[in-house]
Amino acid sequence: MGKQATEMLKGILEGIVLAILSVRPAYGYEITAWLRDQGFSDIAEGTVYALLVRVEQRGLVDVEKVPSEKGPPRKVYSLNAKGQDYLAEFWRTWSFLAERLEQLHQGGK
């Protein structure tokens, strides 16, 4: 992943993570692993963790603590109603941007 991609991703990572959580609840590591599988290789687990903390503080996700074999309980995040509204808004914004950029891209040829 290039520097440009990393910079661009910063603004939309929150939407991506909420979209992942809208499919099914997950804990931080699962989200990072999914992102890496999809080619977002530069994303640190801590970045995702900090992001999850932020959406938790803003009340967009619910958190359930699940005991683990070793170490502290894992925090499993799921999207709640407020988070779903926020995600819907994210997709509207994304569609608008994608459409306009595509026009610009085609027009530039």
Partner 1 sequence: MAAKWIELVTGSLEQKKEYRRYRARIDALPEPYVTVAKAFHRYFMSGAAGIPEDDSVVTMLRDFVELWERAAADGTPVRDIVGEDPVEFADLFAQAYLGKRWIDNERARLTRSIESAEQTDRSVEQTDRREQP
* CB of residue 13 to partner 1, shortest distance in Å: 10
CA distance 26 to 34: 10
SS3 24: coil
Q: Which stretch binds partner 1 (CB under 8 A): 17-25, 54-62, 83-91, 98-106?
A: 54-62
Q: Which is nearer to partner 1, 70 or 105 (CB)?
A: 70
Q: Which is nearer to partner 1, 22 or 47 (CB)?
A: 47
91: amino acid identity, one letter: W
CA distance 103 to 88: 23
Q: Which is nearer to partner 1, 29 or 91 (CB)?
A: 29
Q: Which of 83, 101, 97 is nearest to 11 (CA)?
A: 97
| 87 within 8 A of 12, measured Cβ to Cβ | no
Sole binder of partner 1 in the list 5, 38, 64, 68 (CB under 8 A): 68
* Interface positions with partner 1 (CB under 8 A): 29, 42-47, 49-51, 53-54, 56-57, 68, 70-72, 74-75
